[in-house]
A and B are shown apart, each in its own frame.
Chain A
Amino acid sequence: MSEANGIERIAEAFESSARESRAALMPYLMGGFPDLARSQEIGAACIEGGADVIELGLPFSDPLADGPVIHAAGTAALRAGATFAGVLEIAAALAPRIPVIVMAYANSLFVRGVGAAAGALAEAGACGLIVPDLPHEEAGELRGACDARGLALVPLVAPTTPAERLAEIGAHARGFLYTVSVTGTTGERERPADALVEVIARARSSTAVPVAVGFGIGSPAAAADAARAGADGVIVGSRLVRAATDAQAQGASEAAVVRALVRELRAALDVAGAATPVVPR
């Protein structure tokens, strides 16, 4: 492994997919779902299927930004005994192979203190952190703690974010700008592809880091649409978590089902190419 820190590893991942003239594929999995061991297998399956970056969810009791699929998986993970330390073990296992970004709610970090939480994440080899209930106004202390350890605190912007605020958030973004494609919680949705063009263009004009789109991307076609609309990265969460949930219910291998779906997503991105065939700044 190189000595690159988390922020640098994320940048490398985007540069590498841009060199291949495609958007980065960024699958999300719920840490500890259905249990720690199988969740780690799902993560490995994402890598084998062609992921560029992995988002690893830390389950929380009251996930306000999540729709029913991810909420239910988080509840199941907690029931199966998932903990911060357990999810970091998964991060540590996957991190040598791929940049891992942990998605955690604020209270899971505050309960340890943000310095200790950021330290533990860096120690486990995580490259970044997404906190969906920590808006810009509240993020300063955590961003400082992450910066000190080379961890990227990735901010979110929404379709409702006004221009001035977008510029402020974009200027403080680390790693990439997580661009929420819909006004709502996580979950698969039908959405006209042309509306994405504006959302992505708006986000790009506000920041120097790559723009990744998430929330609502429910199919290979939708992932390809997002890439064609100009996204540097495409985040797919609920669709994959639903696949794992369905596989579990049917007694099938979650990892095999997820691997196949990630391959399809990757193939769609390979074909879609990049709308902005330049290496991100």
Chain B
Amino acid sequence: MSAVEHRFGPYGGQYVPETLMPALEQLEQAWTAACADAGFQAELRDLLEHYVGRPTALYHAARLSGLAGHPVYLKREDLLHTGAHKINNAVGQALLARRMGKTRVIAETGAGQHGVAAATACALLDLRCVVYMGTEDMRRQRPNVDRMGLLGAEVVGVEAGARTLKEAVSEAIRDWVANVEDTHYIIGSAVGPAPYPAIVRDLQRVIGDEAREQVLAAAGRLPARVIACVGGGSNAIGLFAGFLDDAEVELIGVEAAGEGIASGRHGAPLSVGGPPGVLHGALEAVMQDGEGQIVEAHSISAGLDYPGSGPQHAHLRDSGRARYEAVEDTDALAAFARLSRLEGIIPALEPAHAIAWVLAHPGSELDLVCLSGRGDKDLAEALALLDDTL
């Protein structure tokens, strides 16, 4: 019996080349041991507090609340070191890599936030770091490419397919297949073969655990709705994890509708709800054609530009515990500009989708939104588009 979930309902599993199976087993054992090891937990807690910057603030966004017509609280993961929630997972997994005696770390990145977080954690723990990134994303997220270089990581451009996150993950997995003996793969979202979805959720659930305590202290009640953007879905699963047992709290994942669901150019496999498929080692909600070929996603935000999603999300959807809806590029862009003016907070384009959803769905008693990252990385891309549309 495994203490770490391999399946969430029918979803999840381990659809990887045989070469990786022993490494997944080793990872699961190391994680189980680390969870039971007070020393490991203390070191992680210490780093999260003094290095990463936890706990993050829960902020009552008064002017946003005024516009929405109901109270809206923002969980400020944008205030973390490196500017997004990704660092919670990267630091935890880098500690785990060291514990397993691995000297080399690989990671994939879309928006660059996970790549920067992995490069940061590896600099801190003196691990070699190689980050795979689609060349289209390298173009869209230049500042993060420069950051990773400065942090000592090697950024490898991936030219396959649409040159975005999906291909970066595939290339990272191929590297891992070839170098599994000395290398740990720090996957950046709650996706991939078991035990990754469970490990990433457990490392991100600090978001939800803190937020629950904070909202009770600040508002004296639980939120009516808890809202987070979903690409692979790590900030969302981390936030949701804190509220799963609170049946009265509605959980809403916001995917990228891109240029509109009908256009086919989106990143919303959970919202669309087609048959599940296997991508990057797990059975999950994916975007695929009738032949089972994975199709390219599209989103204005590189972090949501992914045709798959974490397996636990598909199960939460099917069981009715969470629901998933999608927001188009233009609405996310408008929310990006709006939050900047209203609150003096420039959000990443990813959580701007969650903000847009809240503004489009009034009538709540209290919303809690995960502001998963800050928007500096998106400035060039967003400003160019805002000039076109405004």
Contact = CB atoms under 8 A, between A and B. Distances in A.
Interface of A: 60-62, 64-65, 67, 71, 75, 78, 83-84, 105-112, 132-138, 155-162, 165, 169, 180, 183-185
Given A138-B14, A183-B181, A161 B22 contact: yes
Contacts, number: 114
Contacts of B178: 183-185
Contact of A62 (B13, B18, B22, B279): B279
11 contacts: A64-B177, A71-B160, A78-B293, A132-B18, A134-B15, A135-B14, A157-B18, A160-B23, A161-B18, A161-B21, A185-B17
A165 B295 CA distance: 35
Nearest to A67: B174
B277 A110 contact: yes
A132 B23 CA distance: 16
Q: Which 9 A-B pairs have the closest CB atoms?
A: A111-B292, A184-B178, A158-B19, A107-B278, A61-B293, A65-B17, A107-B292, A108-B292, A61-B294
Nearest to B308: A62
Majority secondary structure of chain A interface residues (helix, strand, loop or mixed): loop
Given A156-B18, A158-B17, A165-B22, A62 B294 contact: yes
B291 interface: yes
A139 to B, nearest CB: 10
Contact of A107 (B19, B23, B277): B277
A112 B20 CA distance: 26
A62 B174 contact: no
Interface in B240-299: 275, 277-281, 283, 288, 290-295
A156 B17 contact: yes
Interface residues of B, number: 36
B17 to A, nearest CB: 4
Contacts of B13: 137-138
Contacts of A134: 15
B47 interface: no
* Most A-side CB within 10 Å, residue of B19, B161, B181, B294: B19
A202 B292 CA distance: 35
Given A137-B21, A161-B18, A161-B22, 15 more contacts: A60-B292, A61-B293, A62-B166, A111-B275, A111-B277, A112-B292, A133-B281, A135-B14, A137-B14, A138-B14, A156-B18, A160-B22, A169-B18, A183-B19, A183-B177
B102 to A, nearest CB: 14
Nearest to A155: B18
Interface in B2-31: 13-23
A138 B19 contact: no
Given A75-B160, A110-B277, A64 B170 contact: yes
Contacts of B138: none
B294 A184 contact: no
B293 A106 contact: no
A135 B166 contact: no
Interface string B181-221: 10000000000000000000000000000000000000000
B156 interface: no
Contacts of A138: 13-15
A133 B293 CA distance: 15
Given A61-B294, A62-B294, A132 B278 contact: no
A67 B295 CA distance: 20
A158 B290 contact: no
A83 B22 contact: no
A60 B293 CA distance: 6
Contacts of B95: none
A109 B277 CA distance: 10
